[in-house]
Structure 1
Amino acid sequence: MPVSAEDPYESWNRKVFTFNDTIDRWVLRPVAKGYRTVTPDIVDRGVSNFFNNLSEIRNFTNSLLQLKGESAVVAFGRFTFNTVFGLGGIFDVANAFDLPERPEDFGQTLATWGVDSGPYLMLPLLGPSTPRNFGGMLTDGFMLPSAWNTVDSPEWYYLRALQIVDKRADLIPAESFISGDQYTFMRNAFLQRREFLINDGKIKDDPFASDDDELMLEDF
């Protein structure tokens, strides 16, 4: 198998992918399916909205770091409207004010500053990434201001577990779009999604894309 510049560690990445897939198949996915079965749609949406609302602090901070004034205003407006009028973010009322979410993270900020992505990496338990994306994720999680900092243990762990299960449950419908080699498909989807976010919705030519790929970027 030829080694590509974008995925020079493919042999190792595939081993990690197999490990992650085994954990997902036997633990996380069954829990997520049970969650979807017993949780009413309105409650499921409320849980997702709540966690999305917390991420607006990250969006706001990184928008400022990227000098995106309009995106910062949108993130601040979304957090304010959804927290005050959406019962702490359970309801996404900001959309009614024509304020759709604009995801921004520190990985995108590093890209704006000219930091190279580095090779594709499959991380144990964390999934698809790159050195730039992983560094950005660590910064977002431990250094930037976050509403998570106001949550004391052990509630913090319960909420994190709920967030992981809720996110995995939301991805179950997207599984129907996976075709061919699962590792390759997930790699393509991740890299295209990151490019989509970094370039604010503008996609360049993807070196991994094939004519048969049909990726739902909003679902990954």
Structure 2
Amino acid sequence: MFLEAAAKRGAQLIVIDPRRTETASLPNAQWIPIRPGTDGALALSILEVMIDEERYDEAFVEQWTHGFDELCTYVQHFRPEVVETITGVPAETILKLAYQISNTTGVAPVMYTGLEYSNSGLQAIRAVFTIWALAGQLDVPGGLCFSSLGNHFPINRSGNVENPNVDRAIARDRFPYHPVPLAKPVRQNPLMLCSPWDSVLKRLTALFGFPFLAIPRKRILTMSSKPLKKF
């Protein structure tokens, strides 16, 4: 377990979870309990502190972002004292989190499907990644790294594996469906289910998530899923 190995090397771990997990009991680990499904509010509150106190990478914002002014306006609704009543996380803890992320060189988030299974989970994940972008923690040693073509980072080499020849799959005639990893944007999936695609797409299989709960524009997805024969 790489988190356990990091803790043994002296890395500080902050575990934000409704439960006190085994990870929260590791050396140098701090457990911050939170009400289930409120992670997005916590992330937006951290952003509010960073923006209000100008603890963000101004050069990054100037060169690489769109809609920063709108974000500044939106996060004003998520001041720590307000979010404390939503999440159960004390305002002082929220402030400390914002300071730790923005002041430390090399901070990385580790998440799996916990946020994705909550209401508007995808937006919560986006808010978390926005924290790391504004804090200048992208593609820096110890920060949040992105894989690319030809990447051989030892933790995950799945991007280097070619998709199998599904035509040779066992029982292809009886089970013609097979998952194939795609490295393409899928944000237009709801629109793909609408006319004229409704005469072509009849089935939707969701793996490791529930799109009707997690993704934004759920109203469009719900309406556009009506032509599906199976889900």
TM-score (norm: length of structure 1):
0.29
Q: Select the structure that is richer in helix.
A: 1
The structure that has the greater radius of gyration is 2
Taking structure 2 as the reference length, the TM-score comes to: 0.28
Q: Relative CO higher for 1 or 2, CA cutoff 8 Å, sep ≥ 6? A: 1
